[in-house]
Amino acid sequence: MNLNSPDMTDTKPNATAATLTRRTFLAIGAGLLALAAGCAVGPDYKRPEVSVPAAYKEDPLWKLAAPGDDEPKGPWWESFGDPVLNGLEAQVEASNQSIRQALASYEQAVATLKADRTGFGPQVGVAGSVQRSKATAASSLGHSTPTNFYVAELQASWEPDIWGRLRLTVEADAAAAAASEADLANARLSMQAALAQNYIGLRASDEKIRLLEDAVAAYARTLKISQNKYSVGVAARSDVIVARTQLDSTRAQLIAAGVQRAQYEHAVAVLVGRAPAEFSIERTPAMGLTVPVVPPQLASRLLERRPDVAAAERLAMEANARIGVQTAAYFPALSLSGSGGYEGSPLSSLFTTPFRFWTLGAQASDALLDWGQRRDLVRSAKAAYEASAANYRETVLTALQQVEDNLAGLRILREEAEVQQAAVSEAAQAAQIALNEYNAGTADFTTVASAQVTELSNRETALAVLQSQLTSSVALIQALGGGWTAGGDKGR
């Protein structure tokens, strides 16, 4: 339909016709708008089904619960009781480059969503032109006066979303933006957990350095004892050699521990957005980290707070909407357009009724033969959805595995820590008894050296178990999608 009526005369019948035509056009537009609200094509979205147990195998008190990835997690790192860690975690949010990258991707997705939403409304523009022309008439002996022709026009167009293509595109964009937001939350959680893991490694290195420094001091004293006994002839020279070898070997371990600490410090620097050369962490007199206690009655509802699970589910939602977008291509596209303005000459009288014009039009188009392109695009969209659904199920199952792994790890490590502490106490007693007997001349130095090595080994093992408990706690928190404190409420 194309209606064009230049108003060259201002008669009442023409005005009435124009009014009726406009009303007809508006009625058609209103009808199309109502039709668009109820003719969306494509499948309705349902969350992909995945079989999950009613409780965790490693701790039956822990149950699964409804989604809550948008719930506040709170500063979970505070449960480790280290003020230095608390300060570093605050820097991650502001300075970590991986988080900034994820934030930029989220902002891009939101901008895309807003841009597509503008398609619901009409597009309005203005246009103007001027033409200068000259025509030679035969009667004027080849002479004529040039004339200027002016046009000032207001244009509008609108494509009613009859089959829901635009609505489904916006729905897909909204799901993509939500997935990007979840990716941002996942990046934030991952960087916070990585910082905690590396900081724990650094403090464990500090503790190992202290153990080795204490051992070096003890072995130096033992060497002095063996030298004194050798000088008075009550000990063999081999005792001195063994004592010196033990001391030098431990000094070498001390140097190696310093290298490992430096590497942890460099990793922390990068995580907080700093160059390693400009960053350092002072040693503390004690470990300063405690293994947090996770309350099962709270943690039972935290699994689906995982941002990666939320992101996978929203990507499936996006893929489902894309099926509808491709299905809508089977139906004809309709667009409405209109324009109005003034055209004529001269310029001084352009914006007057005799020079006014308007046009209204509608256009429908559809492909008669596309060689199966639309069918294949729909199949592609459906396959993409199936892939997204499978990815969602895999993400959920992986999340369950990670929770189970860390629950089992913490339970077993807790038992191991108790036994190992007993072993440390017994090894320390054995080393002291062996040294006393050596001083009394009732035991050889090999017994002393063996007892001292056993004590140091058990202390290092106890430290490794403690480090594993701390890192497993961080891994469990990450597997649950964050901590269990919100708004400072730690007991709820």
pLDDT of residue 183: 85
User: In the chain, how many domains are there?
Assistant: 1
Residue 5 has pLDDT above 50, yes or no: no
Please report whether residue 466 resides in a domain: yes
pLDDT per residue as tens digits for the range 426-444: 999 999 999 999 888 888 8
Please report whether residue 32 resides in a domain: no
pLDDT of residue 466: 95
Quick one: pLDDT band at residue 40, thresholds 50, 70, 90?
Answer: low
What is the distance between the alpha carbons of residues 328 and 335, in angstroms, rounded to a whole number? Answer: 15
Q: Averaged over 48-55, what is the pLDDT?
A: 71
| Beta bridge partners of residue 340, listed in sequence order | 154, 358
For residue 379, give every residue at least 6 positions away whose Cβ sits within 8 Å of its Cβ, in sequence order, or none. none
Residue 419 has pLDDT above 90, yes or no: yes
Domain residues for 265? 40-120+163-331+376-479
Quick one: pLDDT band at residue 42, thresholds 50, 70, 90?
Answer: confident
User: Hey, is 145 helix, strand or coil?
Assistant: coil
Position 456: which residue type?
Answer: L
What is the distance between the alpha carbons of residues 112 and 110, in angstroms, rounded to a whole number? Answer: 5
By the 8 A CB rule, do 232 and 204 touch? no
Looking at per-residue pLDDT, the higher value among 11 and 329 belongs to 329
pLDDT of residue 348: 61
Strands 2-4 and 123-133: unpaired
* HSE toward the beta carbon, residue 263, CA cutoff 13 A: 9
What is the distance between the alpha carbons of residues 243 and 226, in angstroms, rounded to a whole number? Answer: 7
Name the nearest CA neighbour of 345 among 126, 134, 137.
Answer: 134
Q: Which CATH number characterizes residue 399's domain?
A: 1.20.1600.10
pLDDT per residue as tens digits for the range 297-332: 454 555 567 888 888 888 888 888 888 888 888 777
Please report whether residue 211 resides in a domain: yes
Looking at per-residue pLDDT, the higher value among 178 and 196 belongs to 196
What residue ranges in 102-172 does DSSP mark as E strands? 123-133, 147-158
Residue matched to tokens 């499948």: 43
Backbone angles phi, psi at 63, to 5 degrees: -110, 160
Please report whether residue 131 resides in a domain: no
Please report whether residue 23 resides in a domain: no
The tokens for 145 are: 């006066």
pLDDT of residue 7: 42
Looking at per-residue pLDDT, the higher value among 366 and 491 belongs to 366
Please report whether residue 103 resides in a domain: yes
* High-pLDDT (> 70) share of the chain, %: 78
Residue 193 has pLDDT above 90, yes or no: yes
Long-range contacts of 46-52 (CB under 8 A, 24+ apart): 47/313, 47/316, 48/313, 48/316, 48/389, 48/390, 48/392, 48/393, 50/392, 50/393, 50/396, 50/397, 52/396, 52/400
Looking at per-residue pLDDT, the higher value among 184 and 49 belongs to 184
Please report whether residue 357 resides in a domain: no
Name the nearest CA neighbour of 390 among 313, 322, 326, 321.
Answer: 313
Quick one: pLDDT band at residue 262, thresholds 50, 70, 90?
Answer: very high
Residue 80 has pLDDT above 50, yes or no: yes
By the 8 A CB rule, do 490 and 295 touch? no
Residue 413 has pLDDT above 70, yes or no: yes
Mean pLDDT of the chain: 80
- Asked which of 13-27, 102-116, 259-273, 445-459 is least confident by mean pLDDT, the reply is 13-27
pLDDT of residue 9: 37
What is the distance between the alpha carbons of residues 429 and 451, in angstroms, rounded to a whole number? Answer: 9
Residue matched to tokens 């320390």: 428
User: Hey, is 293 helix, strand or coil?
Assistant: coil
pLDDT of residue 209: 95
Name the nearest CA neighbour of 186 among 98, 252, 95.
Answer: 98
Q: What is the pTM of this model?
A: 0.76
The tokens for 480 are: 């649950």
Residue 197 has pLDDT above 50, yes or no: yes
Looking at per-residue pLDDT, the higher value among 239 and 143 belongs to 239
Q: Averaged over 180-193, what is the pLDDT?
A: 88
Q: Averaged over 109-126, what is the pLDDT?
A: 82
Please report whether residue 287 resides in a domain: yes
pLDDT of residue 282: 93
Looking at per-residue pLDDT, the higher value among 397 and 200 belongs to 200
Q: Averaged over 330-359, what is the pLDDT?
A: 73
